């Protein structure tokens, strides 16, 4: 399975982020899955890619040309796909994924997983879409989705493919791995 992963290129201020992302990367590599991610060597992105590689896994980075021009790519990954811009990058990452995971991140992470959530809810994608709610990071997003349903602006049926996971064990259960 190829897992497209969305996360930040910074480390954040909670040491649990680095620990959890490395645990995920090790699992991806050891389980024979492949990683698709944003291609950066920086922050949590770099930690994830490095841990997948160290566990013997394949890593595909998808980065826009302006990231490459800034020298942000991770040279040690298996494959790097360079796109014209962020829109092309998002489309390529979706095209390559069999499952999607959003780790705690910033606005870019939120934008990318929101697009996947929308495609899943419209049934344009029939894949797992997992929001990794590490230490309650995405509690407010979950509450917002519940509020949308309460306001009858969305339905539980539409959100059926969007899952929240609190830890790696729950991610494995969702992916049936």
Instruction: Examine the pLDDT at 177 and tell me if it is beyond 80.
Output: no
Judged by average pLDDT, the poorest of 11-25, 60-74, 162-176 is 60-74
- Domains of the chain in sequence order: 2-175 (3.40.50.450)
Residue 143 CA to residue 36 CA, distance in Å, equals 28
Report the pLDDT value the prediction gives residue 100, as an integer from 0 to 100. 98
CB 108 within 8 A of CB 117: no
Q: What is the pLDDT of residues 125-134, one digit of tens each?
A: 999 999 999 9
Mean pLDDT score across all residues of the chain: 96
Let me know if 115 is exposed, middle or buried by CB neighbors in 10 A (0-12, 13-18, 19+): middle
Interacting residues of 161 by C-beta distance below 8 A, sequence separation 6+: 120, 121, 125, 126, 127, 128, 129
Q: Tell me the DSSP string of 32-88.
A: T-EEEE--B-SHHHHHHHHHHHHTT-EEEEEEEHHHHHTT-B-TTSSEEEEESSHHH
Q: What is the pLDDT of residues 44-81, one digit of tens each?
A: 999 999 999 999 999 999 999 999 999 888 999 999 99
Report the pLDDT value the prediction gives residue 29, as an integer from 0 to 100. 98
pTM (two decimals): 0.95
Instruction: Compute the average pLDDT of residues 92-116.
Output: 97
Instruction: Examine the pLDDT at 158 and tell me if it is beyond 80.
Output: yes
Report the pLDDT value the prediction gives residue 166, as an integer from 0 to 100. 97
């Amino acid at each position: 399975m190829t897992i497209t992963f969305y996360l930040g290129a910074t480390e954040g201020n909670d040491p649990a982020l680095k620990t959890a992302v490395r645990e995920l990367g090790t699992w991806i590599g050891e389980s024979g899955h492949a990683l698709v991610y944003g291609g950066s060597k920086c922050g949590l992105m770099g930690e994830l890619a490095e841990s997948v590689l160290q566990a013997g896994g394949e890593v595909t980075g998808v980065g826009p040309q302006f990231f490459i021009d800034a020298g942000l790519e991770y040279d040690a990954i298996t494959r790097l796909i360079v796109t014209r811009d962020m829109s092309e990058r998002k489309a390529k990452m979706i095209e390559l994924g069999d499952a999607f995971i959003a780790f705690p991140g910033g606005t870019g992470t939120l934008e990318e997983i929101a697009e996947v959530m929308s495609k899943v809810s419209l049934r344009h994608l029939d894949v797992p879409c997992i929001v990794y709610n590490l230490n309650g990071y995405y509690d407010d997003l979950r509450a917002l989705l519940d509020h949308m349903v309460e306001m009858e602006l969305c339905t539980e049926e539409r959100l059926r493919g969007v899952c929240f996971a609190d830890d790696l064990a729950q991610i494995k259960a969702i992916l049936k791995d």
